[in-house]
Structure 1
Amino acid sequence: MTMFWSIFALALMLPAVWLSWTQKADEHSLFFRGALFLALAGPSFVSIIHLGGHWDSGISISLWLTVSFSLLMFFCLSLIEKQFSRLAPLLLPYLFVLAIFAVIWQGHITHQNIKSAADFWLIVHIIASIVTYALCTLAAIAAFSVLLKERALKAKKMESRFLELLPSIYDSDRFQVSLLTMAEVILGLGILTGMARQYSETSVFLQIDHKTLLAFIAFVVIAVLLALHRYIGIRGQNAVRFVLAVYLLLTLAYPGVKFVTDFILTETS
């Protein structure tokens, strides 16, 4: 039954993907909002079914939650900032591909009951981690938009129909910095709540593992980028490298660790 709803969720995402590639977002606002709401409803419903009263730490649900939270934030931010919706031609196909992988990797489930007093910190830590990764997903899409437009500008090929769908370089650069600023705050919260949970369980504030180390490095890289942007004015492809580096680090820390745990270690054990 879960597989049926997963396939159905994929189908609900298709209208939004198709609309994002056919017209500028501001040219089909009403239809696009409706399609985007459907695209959000599908993965969100599948995520709820997956969880079923337990925290599932498998890679499939991690991808579904990434898709759901990324769509939710995109939907909300596009209501606030009209130009933000023009990232849809890059974001929606990418999230659709992630959803396909979530369906392919479905069945590898690891339930974790959240019952102890210390689990309050676990819940906050999980939410902070998911929100951080969703924000960095949007930031990486904005960075990729900058990269595509700047390369086309240098090659004098700005007449592309696809590039016309995307926001301006200025807007995309502004989006990526704003998104990373929010991600930095929430990532910091995630690190602190992780330390609080660690201390409540082991009386040790910090136990370094791959995920923690990658999260700390990502936090520092974001801080460096924001400082350079504020005091030096770094932007364009120079800023893009920082953003994509952060996204790579968090991808290795979040779904990457789960992939290793669910598949590589399982297959070799």
Structure 2
Amino acid sequence: MPLPLIATLAALLYLVATGMQLVALAQRGTNASRLPVSIAVLAMACHALVAWDSISTEDGVHLGFYKVAALVFLAVNIACVVAIALKRPLHNLLLVLFPLSAVAVMVSSLGPQTEHASHLGHGLLIHVASSIIAYAVLTLAAVQAGVLAVQDRQLHERHPGGIVKWLPPLQRMEAMLFELLWVGVILLTVAIVTGFIFVEDLFAQHLVHKTVLTIVAWMTFSSLLWGHYQLGWRSQTAVRLTLAGFLALMLAFFGSKLVLELILQR
């Protein structure tokens, strides 16, 4: 089957799963959540085929902007579905992730090639893989923080409505945020350490901003975890620091690719 058709099938399955998840949340049924997740697994299988075929070629590995974006969304979706399988109430995040994944997989398939192929050794592959998985988990944390902020505000205003009335209790949502942050920080630590080990010069001109912003993100997330357990930081403080750390990480991960590949076309 041609790659664009597989990408289209993945996008359609993502959108169907999104609609079914909306119905499942409206019915407030735990069993109703299984079907959209099952459909999403099929979507992710098609997504994985698209990602593998577009990234891995005979010339080497293509890690252009659109290709990496699709790969990251695949990793985020897998992390979210795994968390759901472990009985974590993250079903609400699917309403944000699946439509964006549908767009990402289509653009990856139909968009232009923005970077030349490169050959990565085993060490660099470990670094790249750990970076993508860390980014995926911390993306979940950022989305969770956004949902938590809306839920907290509406509860304080005593006007809960919309999706907020379908969410788990605020304390459960907050606990899930810190679980995601713990896992994300551990993975980001692995990514940073493997970077220092396997990348020739992390402070070279084309890498220094990535390195600095990634360390800033790591320090922000780590400070939040320390503040939560030592000083009792919660709620809006947790939301603000999570989003600030994610912004730094997003600029490190995609900022240079956006400028060099899409704007300067280098």
TM superposition score normalised by structure 1: 0.87
Listed as ranges, the matches of 1:177-188 within 5 Å are 177-188=178-189
Contact map agreement 1:89 1:166 (CA 8 A) in 2? no
Alignment partner for residue 62 of structure 2, among 52, 56, 69?
A: 56
Residue type matched to 1:192 in 2? V
Q: 1:52 to 1:206 in 2, by over 3 A?
A: closer
Residue aligned with 1:108, SS: coil
Residue type matched to 1:227 in 2? W
1:166-219 Cα offsets, whole Å, 9 max, x none, are 333222211111111111111111111111123xx4xx6754611111101011
Q: 1:238 to 1:98 in 2, by over 3 A?
A: farther
Write the distance in 1 (CA, Å) between the matches of 2:155 and 2:126: 43
Alignment partner for residue 79 of structure 2, among 64, 73, 82?
A: 73
Q: 1:104 to 1:258 in 2, by over 3 A?
A: farther
Write the distance in 1 (CA, Å) between the matches of 2:237 and 2:213: 21
Identity of aligned residues (%): 24
Write the distance in 1 (CA, Å) between the matches of 2:166 and 2:31: 10
1:252 maps to 251
Q: 1:102 to 1:148 in 2, by over 3 A?
A: farther
Residue type matched to 1:142 in 2? Q
Residue type matched to 1:70 in 2? V
Write the distance in 1 (CA, Å) between the matches of 2:165 and 2:110: 33
Residue type matched to 1:84 in 2? L
Listed as ranges, the matches of 1:24-103 within 5 Å are 24=25, 26-53=30-57, 54-99=60-105, 102=108
2:151 maps to 149
Q: 1:100 to 1:145 in 2, by over 3 A?
A: farther
1:91-146 Cα offsets, whole Å, 9 max, x none, are 333444544554564432431123xxxx2220111001100110011001110111
**Structure 1: gaps (5+ residues):** none
TM superposition score normalised by structure 2: 0.88
Residue aligned with 2:175, SS: helix
1:3 maps to 4
Residue type matched to 1:172 in 2? M
Residue aligned with 1:83, SS: coil
2:127 maps to 125
Q: 1:229 to 1:140 in 2, by over 3 A?
A: same
Contact map agreement 2:3 2:109 (CA 8 A) in 1? no
Instruction: Figure out how many residues of one structure are paired with residues of the other and give that number.
Output: 258
Contact map agreement 2:4 2:106 (CA 8 A) in 1? no
Q: 1:250 to 1:98 in 2, by over 3 A?
A: farther
**Structure 2: gaps (5+ residues):** none
Residue aligned with 2:90, SS: helix
